[in-house]
């Protein structure tokens, strides 16, 4: 399993659209993907929009992305990049 820390940078946080983009990207990989709120036991399935929204992530929130499976390296690279890019939002 690989993990990578990331920080939410987009102004409006992790609302439906970013959660949707994240799950769409996560679904391209066979690895099991999850997001944890750094420093807590709160974890959500990285392929569930509703699950990701329950985390209540706002700008500045620190997260830990985990990927486990055959394509975990590619998955974690792509997903960390997506979060760090602010999901293409300003």
Partner 1 sequence: MQISSLLQEQAVLIPLNTADKQTSIEAMVDALAAGGSVTDRDAYLQAILAREQTGSTGIGFGFAIPHGKSAGVSRAALAFAKFARPVDWDSLDGNPVQAAFMIAVPAEAAGNEHLQILIALSRKLIHEEFREQLLQVQNAEQLTDLLETI
Positions marked catalytic: 15
The most distant pair of C-alpha atoms in the chain lies apart, rounded to whole Å, by: 34
Among 1, 7, 42, 54, binds partner 1 (CB under 8 A): 54
Among 3, 4, 9, 20, binds partner 1 (CB under 8 A): 20
Q: Does 49 bind partner 1 (CB under 8 A)?
A: yes
Binding part of the chain for partner 1, among 2-10, 14-22, 33-41, 67-75 by CB under 8 A, reads 14-22
**Are 7 and 61 spatial neighbours (Cβ–Cβ below 8 Å)?**
yes
Among 6, 8, 10, 13, binds partner 1 (CB under 8 A): 13
Rounded to whole angstroms, how far apart are CA atoms 90 and 79?
A: 18
- In this structure, what token pair is assigned to residue 13? 């946080």
Rounded to whole angstroms, how far apart are CA atoms 1 and 14?
A: 24
Rounded to whole angstroms, how far apart are CA atoms 75 and 59?
A: 23
Given the rule CB under 8 A, which residues bind partner 1? Answer: 12-13, 15-17, 20, 23-24, 48-51, 53-54, 56, 58
């Amino acid at each position: 399993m690989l993990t990578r820390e990331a920080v939410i940078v987009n102004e409006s946080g992790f609302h439906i659209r970013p959660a949707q983009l994240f799950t769409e990207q996560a679904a391209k990989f066979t690895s099991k993907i999850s997001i944890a709120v750094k420093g807590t036991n709160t974890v959500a399935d990285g392929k569930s929009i509703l699950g990701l929204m329950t985390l209540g992530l706002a700008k500045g929130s620190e997260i830990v992305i985990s990927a486990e499976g055959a394509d975990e390296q590619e998955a974690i690279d792509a997903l960390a990049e997506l979060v760090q890019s602010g999901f293409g939002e300003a």
